[in-house]
Amino acid sequence: MIFLRRGLLATLLAMLAIPALAQQAYPNKPIRLVVPFPAGGGTDIIAREVAQKLSTTLGWTFVIDNRPGSGGNLGVDTAAKAAPDGYTLALGQTSNLAINPALYSKMPYDPVKDLAPVGLVASAPLVLVVAADSPYKTLADVVSASKAKPGSLNFASPGNGTVAHLASELLQKTAGVKFIHVPYKGMAQAATDVIGGQVQLYMSSVPTLLGHIKNGKMRAIAVTSVKRVDDLPQVPTVAESGYKGFEAVTWFGVVAPAAVPKDIVLRLNTELNKALQTADVKKKLGDQGAAVLGGTPEQLGALIKSEITRWAPVVKESGAKLD
């Protein structure tokens, strides 16, 4: 009987140890990191830099899986519906985690219910520009001209429903003005038309416009971050320009399927934060116009909820709708 009890006790202890052993073993195979945009874009570059750092320091293997489509919905949905074992993650961002729920009439996933937040990665500001020979030198000039003649100014964006488009809509609402939106399929033609004077205003990410600003073809009016951008130290923020509290940035965060075990989420979060605090990752992301963030899963979860609430009325007032 004593031997039997000892045997049962040993079996029980072994069973209790299984979760700990599983945690120690994670990861024991490649981790798929879904990027919901094409290779070579800003989101893809950030994903690859972070994955490379984790691979180098920890010996983990990452497979980048580019799944563009439907404003990022396709890629994030792929991760949301994957097995909740920690081996499929996605790098989501403002559009597919916060804006798209109001922009699309039917969403394949719920960013709050179907995803487990792992951690914030970075944020990237936008910049409002005009042509170099434009009469507008400050945001106050733009606002004054628009109020004097409503509807006289056109603004370009990289596409209907993009962060840049809706940030411009938010700026109009905040400043009490109305521009005429001219959506483009990407930034190249939009930049050409702004430089040529066909469109008066343009808002897009800092990296995509920095070259035009530095070569003197565009004039930067304001940036949408809370603080000034290192690459454009002379350009004031929208908040500094008279609209206190204004902020509209693209932020990036790692998410996983909702049912991923908490211990795996915490392990991923810990290692992600360590990678983000290294000098080389900060520099490489900084070269893309992004500022490293980091933080807890709870902070990313709270941000997703607050941003969904924040952007929904902006989408509605803009009239933007995609299916």
- The residue-averaged pLDDT of 93-102 equals 95
Q: Where do the structural domains in the chain lie, given as residue ranges?
A: 8-124+250-318, 125-223
Same fold, 8-124+250-318 and 125-223: yes
Which candidate, 250, 233, 45, 59, places its Cα nearest to that of 164? 250
Could you read off the pLDDT of 105-129 as tens digits, one per residue? 999 999 999 999 999 999 999 999 9
Q: Is residue 123 packed enough to be buried (19+ CB in 10 Å), middle (13-18) or exposed (0-12)? A: buried
Q: What are phi and psi of 270, to 5 degrees?
A: -60, -50
> What's the rounded Cα separation, in Å, for the pair 208 and 188?
9
pLDDT of residue 83: 97
pLDDT of residue 117: 98
- The residue-averaged pLDDT of 147-174 equals 91
pLDDT of residue 251: 95
Lowest mean pLDDT among 56-70, 108-122, 200-214: 200-214
pLDDT of residue 205: 87
- The residue-averaged pLDDT of 268-286 equals 96
Instruction: State the chain's mean pLDDT as an integer.
Output: 91
Lowest mean pLDDT among 65-69, 155-159, 194-198, 216-220: 155-159
- The residue-averaged pLDDT of 264-286 equals 96
> What's the rounded Cα separation, in Å, for the pair 201 and 182?
10
pLDDT of residue 111: 98
Q: Is the dihedral of CA 305, 262, 67, 56 positive or negative?
A: positive
* Total-model pTM: 0.85
- Superfamily per CATH, domain 125-223: Periplasmic binding protein-like II (3.40.190.10)
CATH of domain 8-124+250-318: 3.40.190.150
> What's the rounded Cα separation, in Å, for the pair 42 and 311?
22
pLDDT of residue 52: 97
pLDDT of residue 158: 84
pLDDT of residue 50: 96
pLDDT tops 90 at residue 40:
no
- The residue-averaged pLDDT of 30-45 equals 92
Rounding to the nearest 10 degrees, give the CA dihedral for residues 216, 152, 126, 197.
-30
Could you read off the pLDDT of 6-25 as tens digits, one per residue? 555 555 555 554 454 444 58
CA-based Rg of the chain, rounded to a whole angstrom?
23
One DSSP character per residue, 68-97 reads --GGGHHHHHHHHTS-SSSSEEEEEEHIII
pLDDT of residue 76: 97
